[in-house]
Structure 1
Amino acid sequence: MTIQWYPGHMLETKNLLIKTISKVDLILEILDARLPQASANPFLNKISQDKFRLKVLNKSDLADPEQTKRWLDYFETQKKTPAIAICGSKKSQAYAALNYCVDKIARNRARKLKVMVIGIPNTGKSTILNTLAGKKIAKTGNVPAITRHQQRTSLKNNIDIYDTPGILWPVIEPQKRAYILAASGAISDTAIDYNDIAFFAAGLLINRYPELLMQRYPFLKNLPDDELTLIEKIGAARGCLKKGGILDYQKASETLIRDLRSGKIGKISFETPEDLEHDHEI
């Protein structure tokens, strides 16, 4: 299945970023700690080369901590790029990311320091903004692309921070990257087939997190040999049945994806630095 999702407002956001990024001093690039490579928009590299940019691996509370450490090491040693892992709802961690940036540049404190928050949908940009502001000023939720317009907020120490709508790119390649984005919730559910995404997620869990699977679903007496069997067993145990006792694969798939996205299965990372070698990505 080919997955693409590029609603009209994303093109508007792209044009907005091109016009305004030259006016800011710093960039907080918000990534999903579970998928630091897949959630990085390549478009940003083209428009922010002369700006100090910090990769913020948000949602670290949902990610595999061992893989998060490896990703931070990868960015530092392989990419020579500053990166930090945080949980955006925790004030100390959100400010640690902001202050890391602020400390890296010389500034005239009489002038407003302008910081832009950029990232793809559903990486937690608005949550971080609300945490920094100490109040709810941006809509948040588990549905991607809630923010539709750029928002400016004044923080202490003469800092203005700009929250921008989440933006993807027109063609998502390779398709494995699109599946990772869909499984994490970065792509609207209206643009995906739950059965395909659940099949992908089941394979990931069987291969990389079998212990977490067995803990979350104790009715699994043995680890399923294949993806379809796992989905069927979860669906049967959770009552995902149609009339006549026929398994409802759609509901079973939705159950698995919801558990995965919410962290109920455990701390999981969708990709590792080693995956880049197999995908021939840099």
Structure 2
Amino acid sequence: MSIQWYPGHMEKARRQVTEELKRVDMVIELADARVPLSSRNPMLDSILQDKPRLLVLTKSDMADPNVTDQWLEYFKNEGTEAVALNALQNKGAKPLIEKSQKVTAPLFEKMKRKGIRPRAIRAMIIGIPNVGKSTVINRLVGKKTAKTGDKPGITKAQQWLKVGRDMELLDTPGILWPKFENQLVGYRLAATGAIKDELLDFEDISLFTVNLLKTRYPSALLERYNLDTLPEEDRALFEKIGQKRGLLQLGGYIDEEKCAEIILRDVRGQKLGRISFETPEDWRHLEEDNEMNPE
């Protein structure tokens, strides 16, 4: 299955981001801690250019903590300022502001030398749909200012929001890019809920998810679905889960659509624990493959 999603409002948002950059000191880029690279928009590098940037890994409470630590080390080695944020438990706001102050320090030192009075940091907050942007904003601001939801595409317009005396945030709609060069990126985003479910083949995405769980989190599968063993074939495992969930239809066939829905709902609802869909090592292998097999 080829996964693509680029609603018209996203093209408009891309133009707005480009136009508004001159009004901000820095950009706070949000990425899903479960898929830190897959959830980063590669278009941003060309759009943002040299604008100071802080990468915030959202939903860290849903990701494998060991893998998140690997990602923070990875970004550190890449020279990227990054911080993991657990928005639901209101943890990580102070580190985010401190990191933002670090990122913008050279700019404010320059302003100070010019005799410009100190002011709050003006930051643009940006990320792909359903990355947890509205939830992060509400935690930072301290009240329910932005709409939140578990579906992508909630934010459709821009707005300025104050974070105490330290920061002013310019919220922007989530932006996906026109084409996923690697379909693994599309599958990972689909599994985590970044792409509207109405556009997906649930069974295909759930089989991808089952394969990942079987490979990296087998004990979670065994426990959640009360399984004795894990079949080697993904399809056989999928059907076994359906049987355990009582989804047999007339003729002994599994209700595949319902089974796929249950698996994805369980994963997104953390019924199988904290799961990461990619590691830095995955991307190193991908980069090596691309070097060996250029188009």
TM-score calculated relative to the size of structure 2: 0.90
1:30-73 residue CA offsets vs partner (Å, 9 max, x unmatched):
00001001001011111222221111111111111111111111
Off by >4 Å, runs of 4+ in structure 1: none
CA distance, structure 2, for counterparts of residue 66 and residue 155 of structure 1: 30
Contact 1:90 1:131 in 2 (8 A): no
Could you tell me which residue of structure 2 aligns to residue 199 of structure 1? 207
1:67-124 residue CA offsets vs partner (Å, 9 max, x unmatched):
11111111111x1111111112333412321231124324355544211111111110
Could you tell me which residue of structure 2 aligns to residue 265 of structure 1? 272
SS in 1 for 2:92: helix
Aligned-partner residue type, residue 48 of structure 2: S
Q: CA deviation at 1:244?
A: 5.4
Q: CA deviation at 1:243?
A: 4.8
Could you tell me which residue of structure 1 aligns to residue 123 of structure 2? 115
Could you tell me which residue of structure 2 aligns to residue 62 of structure 1? 62
CA distance, structure 1, for counterparts of residue 15 and residue 224 of structure 2: 44
Q: Does 1:229 align with 2:198?
A: no
Contact 1:206 1:224 in 2 (8 A): no
Could you tell me which residue of structure 1 aligns to residue 263 of structure 2? 256
Contact 2:81 2:99 in 1 (8 A): no
CA distance, structure 2, for counterparts of residue 3 and residue 243 of structure 1: 32
1:124-176 residue CA offsets vs partner (Å, 9 max, x unmatched):
01100000111111111110111111121122115211111111000012011
Which one has the largest radius of gyration?
Answer: 2
**CA-atom RMSD in angstroms:** 1.7
Contact 1:43 1:169 in 2 (8 A): yes
CA distance, structure 1, for counterparts of residue 134 and residue 193 of structure 2: 15
Contact 1:25 1:52 in 2 (8 A): yes
Q: Does 1:85 align with 2:93?
A: no
CA distance, structure 2, for counterparts of residue 92 and residue 225 of structure 1: 40
Q: 1:236 to 1:109 in 2, by over 3 A?
A: farther
Could you tell me which residue of structure 1 aligns to residue 197 of structure 2? 189
SS in 2 for 1:91: coil
Aligned-partner residue type, residue 191 of structure 1: L
Contact 1:109 1:158 in 2 (8 A): no
SS in 2 for 1:247: coil
Runs (5+) with no aligned partner, structure 1: none
Contact 1:95 1:132 in 2 (8 A): no
Could you tell me which residue of structure 1 aligns to residue 48 of structure 2? 48
Q: How does 1:1-282 map to 2 (within 5 A)?
A: 1-77=1-77, 79-106=78-105, 107=108, 110-157=118-165, 159-218=167-226, 220-243=227-250, 246-280=253-287
Aligned-partner residue type, residue 255 of structure 2: D
CA distance, structure 2, for counterparts of residue 214 and residue 56 of structure 1: 33
Runs (5+) with no aligned partner, structure 2: 109-115
Contact 1:29 1:55 in 2 (8 A): yes
SS in 2 for 1:104: helix
SS in 1 for 2:30: strand
CA distance, structure 1, for counterparts of residue 46 and residue 102 of structure 2: 24
CA distance, structure 2, for counterparts of residue 158 and residue 119 of structure 1: 21
CA distance, structure 1, for counterparts of residue 125 and residue 42 of structure 2: 16
The total of aligned residue pairs comes to: 280
TM-score calculated relative to the size of structure 1: 0.94
Decide which moves more: 204-213 or 83-92. Answer: 83-92
Q: CA deviation at 1:266?
A: 1.0
CA distance, structure 2, for counterparts of residue 92 and residue 265 of structure 1: 23
